[in-house]
Structure 1
Amino acid sequence: MKAWEKLRASREALDKSRDIFRDFARDLYFPALRLSPWQRTRCTPVLFLVEFLVYRVDAVAEHTRDVELETDGNQDYQKLVRYKQRFATLLRRLGAYDEAVGHQLDQGERYVRLENRVTTYGAADHADVMRLVELRSSDLRLLHTMIYPLLGRPVDQHLLDVLWPVEVLADIGNDLAHYEHDVRTGNFNAYDALVRLYGPDAPQRLRDETARYERMFHERLDGFPDGQRTHLAALCLRRYRTQIDRIPQPVRSGSDEPSTTKGSA
């Protein structure tokens, strides 16, 4: 890779990391945990650094799109394993590692492997598509779980559980926003994968899935006290509601510009 290409890639990673940190760490996890200004300051540089480094894993996945990662002896597999090990070591040194964080690193590896299998062989069934969506947001959960060891807190599993479908819905919303771009560039896009499976029925199939995740969110939210429930609902709904509301019509022949169709309320 040329020097200017490396510089551009680093700039893109910084921009993406900034947006993820703002939308999820600053605007969701910090207020959901009711962190003080000092606690936010303690967590911010570590979370931002880690989110930036996560995009190096994406670079490995992009590089290995046509390479089978499941073969333990190949160089790309070994590179992925080494990077994960170094990542875990770094988090330990930063005081940002515990069992929950390790679990999210494992989930991230599962995502890279599954995406690699799907892109290598060019086929995915419905279960693969939804599993990819669920695993892809593990980088968001990594940021959330890191906050607990950084502050010396026990993990709030109830909060992790209620935010899980919110993170999935936000990821789906991101794919909807980038649908046209991903179709043009050949990047994996969950909605595009459903279009390939179901054609014109894909919008309704996606609505069925988003409705399922929303039900899961509200069912889990009901277990919180009234005041906290209201607080969490306000934080979470603005994170995904408008993003999933408009679903592009499936692209036909790769040349039509997608229009949008109103999602279910």
Structure 2
Amino acid sequence: MEELRKLEQLQRTLTFLQSRSFVSSSSIDSNRFLANLILLLLQPCGELNLDNKCNLLSEYIPKISVTFLEEASQWVALETDERDSQENYVELNNPPDKTDCRSLQINHEDVAMVGLEAMERANSTLEDFCRSYFMFHGIDITSPQVIFKYFPVLSFTESFIYQLDGLNEKILYIPMEGVTTPEKELEKGWAMNVFEKDPFRPLLNVLKCRGLLTERIREEFKSGEEYWALERKLCSALMCKMEISIEDVMRAIHLKSFDYRVLNLLLYQLRGEEVNDLHMEFLSVSEFLVEISDDLFDYEDDVLENNFNILRMFAKVYGPSTAPAMLAKYVTDCEEGYDNLLKTLDPQLSLKYKRRCEEATKEGGKVSGHPLGTWSIPPLIVNEDLYRSNCLNTK
């Protein structure tokens, strides 16, 4: 991802400036401006060397005033608007073929890219998706040839999503002992900037060029953006001791598995098959229950890292004493719907999925008669700030 590469360069430059005491004490934005200026001077520009660039700065900086920059801003904005209008006209009237798409990706500033860390983080989700969802497509999970036929697109997509999720975590980051650093503030600023500028656009371009993008898939990506926005809203409210709504909480937990739905819809497209809405409905209920189960398992870690967690949210909305009972009621109602939909599946598919759920729960260390495992609600953390402080002091 181009934004990540720029962020890394900016961080290195900022660290260098700090080592030379070449930073402004006025604000983070001032330091970012200085770092960007240094990076601009280091960029190759024809035959100009560093000495030429320094001489140009000495000659022209005194001539640059606020009025001059305001006029330049208006001129550049006008030129940009005209160019964008022409590009939009070409795109709408001449949809690109695959050759055009390759050219667009090479020349476009935000080419879709994923890092190794994002691929590693996405791996467990991809394994679970293959083992749990391929059966709904009649795909033999034991056949490497079939799996790797679809794996590149699925892996790239999930890794891209995990990369954005990592950026969202930077926004939610809680400074240890209330102390932050210029690097962390810079990371947070860049991450917020990514989410303000259509974060899925590079990935959508790739899928569109391959003929895989449907309106339904596009809507699921919008669900992902909405989920991250809700996570930031809810987790910030918890940190600021503000009220939250149960409607936002339930909306977020239902949106959280958007990546599984994206992968599933992509698999239908890759196979050239119509979407099975019954399967999608059943899996969406299963996803909801699995997300709650995962949140209960990860509760302490999510409190520590300020991540969305349904138990955290219920504790805030209903209070520590009532939250477990309210969550249990939601789970009971959802399990009833799950069991009813399970009966509508093909008997052989139903049996396979139940076996897969049993495998997953055992691998997660849970043993229960219910295919989704035992519902065990951990003790609630009433004072999250104190819990984080105690965890920090014990390290």
- Calculate the TM-score normalised by the size of structure 1: 0.80
Q: Kindly indicate whether the alpha-carbon contact (under 8 Å) linking 2:119 and 2:155 is maintained by their aligned counterparts in 1.
A: no
Q: Give the match for residue 127 of structure 1.
A: 247
**Residue in 1 that maps onto 2:139:** 35
Deviates more, 1:247-256 or 1:215-224: 247-256
Residue of structure 1 in register with 2:74 after alignment: none
Does 159-168 or 29-38 show the bigger shift?
29-38
Partner of 1:219: 340
Name the CA shift for 1:146/1:169 in 2 (closer, same or farther; >3 Å).
Answer: same
Separation in 1, partners of 2:196, 2:299 = 28
The DSSP-based 3-state class of the residue aligned with 1:247 is coil
* Gap regions ≥5 residues in structure 2: 1-6, 13-113, 174-190, 362-370, 389-395
1:206 aligns with 2:306: no
Alpha-carbon distance change, 236 to 102 in structure 1, aligned in 2, over 3 angstroms: farther
Question: Shift in Å at residue 145 of structure 1?
Answer: 0.9
How many Å apart are 1:210 and its aligned residue? 1.6
Map of 1:263 onto structure 2: none
Give the alignment of 1:63-74 within 5 angstroms: 63-65=170-172
Match of 2:326, SS state, is helix
What displacement does 1:187 show?
2.0
Q: Determine the structure 2 residue equivalent to 1:15.
A: 120
Give the structure, 1 or 2, with the largest relative contact order (CA under 8 Å, sep 6 or more): 1
| CA spacing shift, 1:127–1:243, aligned 2, 3 Å | farther
Cα distance change of structure 1 residues 161 and 32 upon mapping to structure 2, 3 Å threshold: same
2:265 corresponding residue in structure 1: 145
Q: How far has the Cα of 1:49 moved from its partner?
A: 1.2
Contact 1:169 / 1:210 at 8 angstroms: preserved in 2? yes
1:188 is the counterpart of 2:308: yes
1:97 match: secondary structure: coil
- The answer to whether 1:102 aligns with 2:207 is no
Separation of aligned partners in 1, 2:313 and 2:170: 20
1:48 matched to 2:155? The reply is yes
Q: 1:117 aligns with which of 233, 245, 252?
A: 233
Superposed displacement of residue 113, structure 1: 2.3
Counterpart secondary structure, 1:182: helix
Rate the CA distance shift 1:124–1:176 in 2: closer, same or farther, 3 A.
Answer: same
Give 3-state SS (helix, strand or coil) of 2:227's partner. Answer: helix
Q: 1:76 to 1:251 in 2, by over 3 A?
A: closer
Deviations 1:79-128 (A, max 9, x none): 44432222211112344322321221121122122223323444422222
- Counterpart CA distance in 1 for 2:193 and 2:115 is 23
Q: 1:239 to 1:127 in 2, by over 3 A?
A: farther
Paired position in structure 2 for 1:71: none
Match of 1:62 in 2: 169
Alignment map for 1:239-254 (pairs within 5 Å): 239=360, 241-242=371-372, 245-254=375-384
- Conserved in 1, the CA contact under 8 Å of 2:118 and 2:159? yes
Counterpart code for 1:32: F
Matched, 1:229 2:345: no
Taking only aligned residues, the RMSD between alpha carbons, in angstroms, comes to 3.0
What residue in structure 1 maps to residue 3 of structure 2?
Answer: none
Amino acid at match of 1:61: N
Is 1:154 aligned to residue 274 of structure 2?
A: yes
Higher mean alpha-carbon deviation, 195-204 vs 45-54, is at 195-204
Amino-acid identity (%): 22
Paired residue total = 246
Which whole-Å CA distance do the structure 1 matches of 2:244 and 2:116 have between them?
A: 32
Residues 231-259 of structure 1 deviation map (CA, whole Å, 9 limit, x = unaligned): 333334555645552220112334569xx
Could you tell me which residue of structure 1 aligns to residue 297 of structure 2?
Answer: 177
* Residue 166 to residue 106, structure 1, CA distance change in 2 (3 Å): same
If the length of structure 2 is used for normalisation, what is the TM-score? 0.56
